[in-house]
């Protein structure tokens, strides 16, 4: 990493990795202050949407030295897109973070089309964004994280054998819910910030039904933002309503599920949601 970026993201390495499916990913690895794997091995927290999230979440690694509310040591691995694809991260994430067969909610289509009408996206960009939602592969991306990337991180950074975490926001939060509901055993805790459960027919409800009376032992922390619920954008109202419905069904089972409502918008809530996850699931 260049001297300039090193000053902004201290103790951070960057590399690129091609998945077995032929997709290229950019990976930022931020180690704890003074980390020495020869003496203390730390677990990993994977953070999704690295192109957007790394700048707001990686600096929070200093919470491990906060004398007021200390967080357990962890290595942050932020996963995004590499090369020319990095500029298209907001549509490529649809392919990777959305469960297979997830319905496309009308409210989402309307929101994307509104972006075109206001000039936020071109017609080509709008069509490409929606196209990615018609062929989604969260299952393949989860396999990449757990079977390919994690082994590379273990090898190169001398990680702990347990205690790993996963955090995602928006569609990343939907991926977090999907991962938790699959019963994935790599992670000890999972954070889902403002999950993109845009449809009341979301695959996560089908997953929940398939689980029956069982429930994963992995900690799950879900956050929502009050401005999403109280604002006038239908897509945000839908995702908060649907996520609340899912939470009611989960917490009624007395599982390891916690939640919080933050005083943020969907855009500003990322960092606050990550902090909420750290304080709830990874505090000393």
The pLDDT, as a whole number, for residue 223 is: 98
What number is the average pLDDT over the span 165-177? 98
The answer on pLDDT for 245 being more than 90 is: yes
pLDDT in tens, 42-68: 999 999 999 999 999 999 999 998 899
The pLDDT, as a whole number, for residue 183 is: 94
Torsion of CA 209, 49, 133, 103, to 10 degrees: 20
Got the DSSP string for 177-228? HHHHHHT-SSEEEEEEES----STT-HHHHHHHHHTT---SSEEEEEEEHHH
Q: Give residue 254's pLDDT band: very low, low, confident or very high (50, 70, 90).
A: low
Q: Which residue has the tokens 């020319």?
A: 84
The top-level CATH class assigned to 3-98+137-281 is: alpha beta
The pLDDT, as a whole number, for residue 6 is: 57
What number is the average pLDDT over the span 265-283? 97
By CB atoms closer than 10 A (0-12, 13-18, 19+), residue 68 is exposed
3-state secondary structure of 168: strand
Task: Give pTM, 2 decimals.
Answer: 0.95
What number is the average pLDDT over the span 18-35? 94
The pLDDT, as a whole number, for residue 253 is: 66
Tokens encoding 240: 């908060």
The pLDDT, as a whole number, for residue 255 is: 67
3-state secondary structure of 258: strand
The pLDDT, as a whole number, for residue 214 is: 82
pLDDT in tens, 79-121: 999 999 999 999 999 999 999 999 999 999 999 999 999 998 9
């Amino acid at each position: 990493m260049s001297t300039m970026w090193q000053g902004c993201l201290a103790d951070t390495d960057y590399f690129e990795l091609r998945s077995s499916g032929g997709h290229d990913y950019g990976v930022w690895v931020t180690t704890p202050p003074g980390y020495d794997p020869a003496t203390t091995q730390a677990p990993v927290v994977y953070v999704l949407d690295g192109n957007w999230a790394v700048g707001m979440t990686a600096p929070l690694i200093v919470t491990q030295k906060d004398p007021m509310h200390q967080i357990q040591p962890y290595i942050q691995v932020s996963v995004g897109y590499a090369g020319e694809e990095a500029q298209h991260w907001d549509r490529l994430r649809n392919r990777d973070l959305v469960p297979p067969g997830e319905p496309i909610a009308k409210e989402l289509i309307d929101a994307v089309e509104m972006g075109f009408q206001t000039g936020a996206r071109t017609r080509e960009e709008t069509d490409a964004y929606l196209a990615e939602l018609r062929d989604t592969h969260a299952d393949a991306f989860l396999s990449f994280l757990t079977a390919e990337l994690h082994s590379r991180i273990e090898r190169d950074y001398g990680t702990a054998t347990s205690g790993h975490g996963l955090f995602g926001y928006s569609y990343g939060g939907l991926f977090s819910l999907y991962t938790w509901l699959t019963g994935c055993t790599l992670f000890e805790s999972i954070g889902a910030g403002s999950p993109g459960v845009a449809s009341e027919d979301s695959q996560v409800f089908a997953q929940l039904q398939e689980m029956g009376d069982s429930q994963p032992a992995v900690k799950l922390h879900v956050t929502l933002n009050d401005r999403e619920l109280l604002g006038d954008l239908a897509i945000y109202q839908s995702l908060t309503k649907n996520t609340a419905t899912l939470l009611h069904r989960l917490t009624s089972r007395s599982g390891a599920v916690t939640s919080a409502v933050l005083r943020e918008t969907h855009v500003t809530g990322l960092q606050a949601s990550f902090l909420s996850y750290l304080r709830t699931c990874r505090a000393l």
